[in-house]
Amino acid sequence: MTGLRVAALGECMIELYRRPDGAAAVGFGGDTLNTAVYLARLGVPVDYVTALGNDPFSDGMVAAWQSEGIGCARVLRAAGSLPGLYMIETDAAGERRFFYWRDQAPVRNLFGLPGGEALAEALAEYDLLYLSGISLAVLGVEGRRRLGAVLERLRARGGRIAFDTNWRPRLWPDAGTARAAYGEMLGLTDIALASQGDERDLYGDDSSAAVMARLAGQGVAEAVVKLDRPGCIVAALDLEPELVLPEQVVQPVDTTAAGDSFSAGYLAARLGGAGPVAAARAGHALAGAVVQHRGALIPSAAMPDLARFRLPFGARS
């Protein structure tokens, strides 16, 4: 277990969010980065894979990730570039809206940057690679083609792929393009983490059962569908679909990174040997703590104790 190699691939951006007093605070965030941070806090050795600029904001991101225990050897740096930027506004119910400035972010040319070829070769050596629908969108057509070749090599040598479907329509030219890219990705996916609402919007699935049936038809061996209400459905080759409810339903302050942290809790528990149902409970427990704080990344001191879910290495405090 100590030799396990895990990587998360995607985009991290500068984050601006409004505090209750109206002042703006600066941080950073991105769906796969959020998951990588929570994986690291749960004791999983994880590298983050992305591209940044050579600016002070990018320097600050890398320093912060390293302080969390994330490996940054797979972070490419593009001279003269800046990372993307987004702003969050949160309503009284804890739901959020995002505003983005990201079109020129260097991660959009991840495999075309200096070092991109070596990066592609290195990624094929990981035991688990995690990415999302946002990762697919920002890489573009050529980046997705290069990524597909990496994933095929990784799986050929026994590695696994975990994919959070995370559908963001504004990142795609149209839904048909997204469905085609998702179809290719799901054909290479070992663990799918989906949201009922996103799947309904993208595919028109009218129930969690329809989502599960579609994922199974695309060859996914293990799937989690997060429901519109608290809870999820879990299914695997040796497990009939099962409803898994959180131990406690909380009132969210901010739902940012709820799904990202769920993915971290689920994957950490699975890597530790827990079954899919116990792993889903771990995901619920972590997400329940995260949504009670503002921003994507909660203070380390607020991390819940998930030892009972068989995490692999022991969570960092």
Q: Which residues are catalytic?
A: 260
Contact 49, 150 (CB under 8 A): no
Sheet arrangement for strand 24-29: 24-29, 13-18, 85-90, 96-101
Q: Which two tokens stand for residue 99?
A: 């505003």
| C-alpha triplet 178, 268, 244: angle, nearest 5° | 75
Contact 224, 211 (CB under 8 A): no
Antiparallel, parallel or unpaired: β 222-226 and 239-244 = unpaired
Interatomic CA distance for residues 290 and 299, integer angstroms: 9
Interatomic CA distance for residues 275 and 288, integer angstroms: 20
Nearest residue to 245 via CA among 288, 212, 211: 288
- Compute the radius of gyration of the chain from its Cα atoms: 18
Interatomic CA distance for residues 68 and 63, integer angstroms: 9
